[in-house]
Amino acid sequence: MPDFVAPSESELRELWRTSRDPEVRRLILEIVMLRKSLQKVMDWWKTASDAGSDKGDLGGPFGHFQRLYHMLREELRRAGMM
């Protein structure tokens, strides 16, 4: 896939209002649901992070746990949610 700028929430709302094509609307709903899922995963990450400081093999500044956080944060930022 080529690089692209993710549609903002206001752009998605405008597409919803102006498009009656059921396939376009289905794609808009899918984008919204995926963004909600991203936010849930980030919330779970924060809960797990706050629960304890010992992350074991996943810990450390370059561990898998931190990389997951940075990946989630980047996706949320790209989607205009941060």
Among candidate residues 73, 68, 66, the one with its CA nearest the CA of residue 81:
73
pLDDT of residue 30: 96
Threshold 0.75, pTM exceeds: yes
All residues at 6 or more sequence positions from 49 whose CB lies less than 8 Å from its CB, including other chains: 65, 69
Backbone angles phi and psi of 43, in degrees to 5: -60, -40
pLDDT in tens, 13-70: 999 999 999 999 999 999 999 999 999 999 998 888 888 777 777 777 778 888 888 9
- Give domain status of residue 29, yes or no: yes
- Give domain status of residue 2, yes or no: no
- Give domain status of residue 55, yes or no: yes
Domain of 24, in residue numbers: 9-78
- Stated as kind and residue range, the H or E segment containing 25 is helix 22-51
- Give domain status of residue 17, yes or no: yes
